[in-house]
Structure 1
């Protein structure tokens, strides 16, 4: 299949996914369809993060070893001859029919996010211009940043495949997915009607930012654990191989630019390096729990932030339980995927805490839900 036909067929599949979720927006009873579109995109991005974790944890990242298609085709059905041949050659290898479908479905869903972000950009620009550039919630600059960011994420998705799951590339791909979720959540928060937050909420700005910072670092460490297959390097709890400080190789473990399972010099990665990766993620989790737990508890004490504070505390507790269970139960697939999903939920809730801390003390502002039907915008739509 020539490249133009391949790209057209893949774009059609991404457009189909986008339109499918667009129907959900259009058929909803929410008067503010733009807000609904943003939050539906948040939902899809959250799902793609979890499905991406499923793709990675089932070793399906190379289920189709080329990009953007599968053996030059837009779906595994057309590439079945090549997939069957690769599977026959290596039955336990990276290419199987199931893994090919998992990888391509992940790509289709990711393209659907791109379609929805383009829709958000176009609609925001249209409303921004028709409102006389008077409604900040419709400013197109943030959606424009989302568009360029999702293109960057797509590039790292391609490099994940073409560079054969190089750990640093896969980890950055995961991080960018989480950042995209955070950006979309911020856009969604701008569209919501918020309960007024007490002026004391301003004091939470620094703790909320620190919580987001340490959470991002922990997700990066978790991605490094996953992409280096170090999840079972420490099989016991609370110690690691019966010691607080087991023998570890930080130099090789945290050399960033190297091939999967190899050192920078091309030798096999020593097991002590995997222990160092896992142990660091586990120890840093203690700091994350302390900082985020303190921030969430303080949020529950501030009027207008109680609900999001309690939700963040609950999600943090759930993540602790899932993290401990994945190790003690030897990393079952369902719990491993849930661990990634709960990390995404923590990102979403921490962004909401940051947003509420930002608007603390503000009163008298109309929400987008109120302004969208204002005379100025309504007249411009006639």
Structure 2
């Protein structure tokens, strides 16, 4: 366990060193946004781990056959691979799984650094930019994500656990983006508060629908239902194919099995795929309309444009995944599109909140008698 912790610190030391040597005057802001970037990368690598069937490359946790890396567990891995050459344990899959764990531990260390910096600077300056509530919640969320990562392995890729793990990872990205947006402090009040208020409700609805669609997509992936429909827009040549919703959407069951311990019927996989595919049109409609409405406000125009572009790319990658028989690169890109939409919709909601109440985003002066903020960790935005 100690060796694994050291590996996590080593992974985190690289971005921490980049922040330390940076000429950016606001290093706290830089640390938050760098953690956003790396968390986005971790989500993609997690998708790659899942899509290459490497989630059980090391069938125990946190180490690999009790060792800190696959080198030390090489004999055990080779023995398992010899028994089942196409099974979940191979040397390559073991390395993919452990690299994912090292990366995740590094992100955890960065979140600890964010929280520690926030608390130290908050005690010194009482500036809103360092308010420690969100950084503390961030660390708590990282711990929950880690717990579900462990259960993903120990419960042998149980679909509901893997799907929750994905949703928690997206929640972590969203919270980091919210914190980074708070550091930017670049927004001004909207000229028409009535329009903004209506748009904010629409943006919140978009966030909720996007979360549900990501959950459905995770359910497709974790149940290996991607190729249950091999044509588009029909499914098996039918608008409404034969489907088993009861078994398909029973949450607490083992991978590939029904709650009663029988093999999951193909009609259940079809139901899972069909629901995700058709709900995508609802999400595209609502997010597209939200982006179109947001374009009318100059401050929101860039993020609205990006939401529209990513929506189009996400639709194209989803169709390509079916037509091209589930190529790995496109499947990973489809996961990247989902993460980008989370990032952009979070930014949109942040902007709308502080266009309605811009005073909440301003930075108060330091409390009387409090020492001035360090120039290294100054919360003031710069050009």
Match of 1:156 among 144, 148, 159: 148
Query: Is the contact made by 2:121 and 2:373 (CA closer than 8 Å) also made in structure 1?
Result: no
1:26 positional shift: 1.5
Does 1:8 pair with 2:2? yes
How far apart, CA to CA, are the structure 2 residues paired with 1:83 and 1:203?
A: 57
Q: 1:105 aligns with which of 99, 104, 110?
A: 99
Shift of 1:324: 0.9
346-355 or 357-366: which moved more? 357-366
Offset of residue 62 of structure 1: 0.2
1:262–1:367 Cα change, 3 Å? same
Closer, same or farther: CA 247–302 of 1 in aligned 2, 3 Å = same
314, 319, 324: which one pairs with 1:319?
A: 314
Moved over 2 A (4+): 199-203, 361-368, 374-382
Contact 1:153 1:173 in 2 (8 A): yes
CA contact (8 A) 1:197 1:304 kept: no
2:75 matches 1:69: no
**TM-aligned CA distance change 1:366 to 1:339, over 3 Å:** closer
Unaligned runs of 5+ in 1: 1-6
Aligned residue for 1:350, secondary structure, equals helix
Which position in structure 1 is the counterpart of 2:16?
A: 22
> d(CA) in 1 for partners of 2:140 and 2:361?
30
How far did 1:363 drift? 5.3
Indicate which of 102, 112, 115 corresponds to 2:109.
Answer: 115
Map 1:1-382 onto structure 2 (within 5 A).
7-131=1-125, 133=126, 135-198=127-190, 199=193, 200-362=195-357, 377-378=371-372
Q: Which structure 2 residue ranges, 5 or more long, are not aligned?
A: 377-383
Cα distance in 2 between the residues matched to 1:293 and 1:165: 34
What secondary structure does 1:251 align onto? helix
For residues 89-133 of structure 1, give each alpha carbon's deviation from its aligned partner in whole angstroms, at most 9, with x where no partner exists: 1110100010000000000000011100000000001111101x2
| Contact in 2 for aligned 1:197/1:356 (Cα 8 Å) | no
Specify the SS of the correspondent of 1:360.
helix
Aligned Cα root-mean-square deviation (Å):
1.9
Residues of 2 paired with 1:363 and 1:179: CA distance?
Answer: 25
Q: Tell me how many residue pairs correspond in the alignment.
A: 372
**Whole-Å Cα distance in 1 between the matches of residues 92 and 6 of structure 2?**
22
Q: What is aligned with 1:4?
A: none
Does the residue aligned with 2:285 lie in a helix, a strand or coil? Answer: helix
Query: Is contact 2:157-2:255 (8 Å) kept?
Result: yes
Alpha-carbon shift at residue 379 of structure 1 (Å): 6.3
User: What is the Cα deviation at residue 28 of structure 1?
Assistant: 2.1
Residues 319-342 of structure 1 show CA distances to partners (whole Å, capped at 9, x for unaligned) of 111111111111100000110111
What is the Cα deviation at residue 367 of structure 1? 5.8
- Alpha-carbon distance, 1:202 to partner: 3.0
Quote how far apart the aligned CAs of 1:205 are.
1.1
CA distance in 1, matches of 2:31, 2:228: 42
Instruction: Evaluate the alpha carbon distance shift between residue 380 and residue 307 of structure 1 in structure 2; reply closer, same or farther with a 3 A threshold.
Output: closer
Deviations 1:154-207 (A, max 9, x none): 000000000000000000000000011001110111000314251343331111
Contact 2:61 2:154 in 1 (8 A): yes
Counterpart Cα distance in 2 of 1:260 and 1:379: 53
| TM-score, normalization by structure 2 | 0.93
2:379 is matched with which residue? none
Q: Distance in 2 between matches of 1:213 and 1:120?
A: 27
Q: Displacement, 1:371?
A: 7.1
CA distance in 2, matches of 1:224, 1:367: 41
The one-character-per-residue Cα deviations of 1:293-320 (angstroms, maximum 9, x if unpaired) are 0111111111211111111111111111
Q: Which region of structure 1 is more displaced relative to structure 2, 301-310 or 98-107?
A: 301-310
